[in-house]
Chain A
Amino acid sequence: MQVFPCPFCGERPDAEFRYGGDARKARPARDCSDAEWAQYMHFRANTRGESLELWLHAAGCGRWIEIRRDTASHVVIATEPMNR
């Protein structure tokens, strides 16, 4: 029932999108420690409030986008393509 403005397709219902985790997470190199890899793999900000997330516009353009949104109020603050 939420509306996400896809940078490619315009306003679309949230059902067309799929959540893909925290945005701008850097993938560590192979020589990182187990703990660093665990942080990358599993540990999340999971912010209550303003949050920067990756979403796939699965039933639309098929592109990944970054959505800055408030997880408490569901207000969408901004969206942009994943790979700027």
Chain B
Amino acid sequence: MSATPPRKSHYSAWSLLREGLRGQRGWTPAWTDRDPDPAYDVIVIGGGGHGLATAYYLARTHGIRRVAVLEKGWIGGGNTGRNTTIIRSNYFNPQSAALYDLSVRLYEGLSRELNYNIMFSQRAIMEIAHTDADLESMARAANAMRISGIDIELVDRREALAMAPLMDASPDCRWPVRGALVQRRGGTARHDAVAWGYARAADTLGVHIIQGCEVQGFEIEAGRAVGVRTNRGTIRAGRIGMAVAGNSSVLAELGGFRLPLQSYTLQAMVSEPLEPCLHTVVMSTSNGAYVSQSDKGELVIGGNLDRNPSYAQRGSFAVTQSVLSTLVEMFPSFATLKLMRQWGGTVDASPDNSPLIGPTPLPGLFLNCGWGTGGFKAIPAGGTVFAHLLATGNHHPLSAAFDLSRFTTGALIDESHAGVQH
């Protein structure tokens, strides 16, 4: 355990200028690769956004310094690095609204907090209503969110088309625009930067980031998890947290229990980069397609899950086709663009489309999973509440409702009717 955290270059326009004059040679590593110590106060399994954020808040908020993040591959290499980067908090249930809105608020200050530009671009997200029934259910959702304190507007057809003028406005089109649910604070962020920013900040606080370290089993003493067995040896810990998204069930099996999860492939794709043509995030409630344009100019496109349980990280071409066919019906000129890259990630879908946060049936082991298709937007909040749980052994007030026990009591937090799920 190194007592003094590594010194970091401070990032600013000034430091860039200074480094520009001396050949950019003065920059220090964003984080240091570590070999595992024999024991830690807390081990976080999974070096994605949630795991790294958890480690950061454990160190920063709770002052726990002996923290390790164990990542079997490379940090940010799972769903954190494969998603469509959308951030929003327009959720129906008050418990969800509170959690996701904490996330949006933390994202708003994150670049400065981490001294790492995560490029949170609050360019508004809009969910398009195609029918009167869509408008009615959006009104129901909008009112619920407003009462929960979420900024949300229901705009009419004219305003919706003004926000995304490339949408088909012809009278007999397949996906007419009747209006839209708009969250102006919603938007996108640079996904890799979120992982790297948290990693750099956590590393500065003394957290050990250990890549290439795969958990292969749990050390159990007197019915309690006291450590993990990895390809790099056994590592003991006071508390162990898992934040491994699509692989949660696999890890749970090592711990001897099951989870209410099913892993599916979620595809995403990008077009070739173009000059700016789409200024908001557009989602369709009816057909599930959604699209935004990255700062580099690529259209970032997603749709519904591939409905085959899978760990293959490889999407079905039929789903690719159906997502793109709906997209070009909504945006006819997009048919002249070209798809550049398509990929798939493994997401952990829960029965009510809400996350699972809390203790597991194996004492000493805690979980943060079940974010399904929408984990990226929740990273700062997921990290905050999970760090609280790992530091204190008790739920953060915002995470209590998401405990596994809800499946036994029946108190599910159903967000499946909230339209698009990303």
Residues of A within 8 A of B (CB): 1-2, 13-15, 18-19, 34-35, 37-39, 41-48, 51, 53, 71-74
Contacts and interface: CB of A to CB of B under 8 A. Distances in A.
A48 B249 contact: yes
A48 B308 contact: no
B71 to A, nearest CB: 18
A41 B308 CA distance: 19
B294 interface: no
**Secondary structure of the B side of the interface?**
mixed
A46 B309 contact: yes
B249 A38 contact: no
A50 to B, nearest CB: 12
Interface string B261-288: 1110000000000000000000000000
Contact of B262 (A15, A39, A44): A44
B260 A34 contact: no
B316 A72 contact: no
A20 B258 CA distance: 18
B318 A15 contact: yes
A15 B410 CA distance: 32
Nearest to A18: B307
Nearest to B248: A46
Contact of B260 (A1, A35, A44): A44
A43 B260 contact: yes
A46 B249 contact: yes
B309 A71 contact: yes
Nearest to B352: A42
Interface residues of B, number: 25
A43 B308 contact: no
B169 interface: no
A37 B410 CA distance: 10
Contacts of B316: 1-2, 14
Contacts, number: 69
Contacts of B249: 44-48
Contacts of B308: 2, 14, 19, 74
Nearest to A53: B309
Contact of B258 (A35, A45, A48, A74): A45
Given A44-B262, A72-B311, 18 more contacts: A2-B316, A14-B308, A14-B316, A15-B318, A19-B307, A19-B308, A34-B408, A38-B408, A41-B351, A41-B407, A42-B407, A43-B259, A44-B258, A46-B261, A46-B262, A47-B249, A74-B308, A74-B310
Contacts of A74: 308, 310, 312, 314
B297 to A, nearest CB: 30
Contacts of A41: 351, 407
Contacts of B318: 1, 13-15
A31 to B, nearest CB: 16
Most buried by B among A39, A42, A43, A72: A42
Contacts of B263: 46, 48, 71
Nearest to B247: A48
B409 interface: yes
B307 A71 contact: no
Contact of A42 (B250, B260, B310, B314): B260
A35 B260 CA distance: 12
A82 to B, nearest CB: 17
Contacts of A47: 249, 253
Nearest to B264: A19
Nearest to A49: B311
21 contacts: A2-B308, A14-B318, A15-B318, A18-B307, A34-B408, A34-B410, A38-B260, A42-B351, A42-B407, A43-B258, A43-B259, A43-B260, A44-B261, A44-B262, A46-B258, A46-B261, A48-B311, A71-B310, A72-B311, A72-B312, A73-B312
A73 B261 CA distance: 20
A3 to B, nearest CB: 12
B317 interface: yes
B312 A19 contact: no
Contacts of A15: 318
A15 B262 CA distance: 19
Interface string B229-246: 000000000000000000
Given A14-B308, A71-B309, A43 B407 contact: yes
A74 B317 CA distance: 14
A19 B407 contact: no
A47 B249 CA distance: 7
Contacts of B253: 47
A48 B309 CA distance: 9
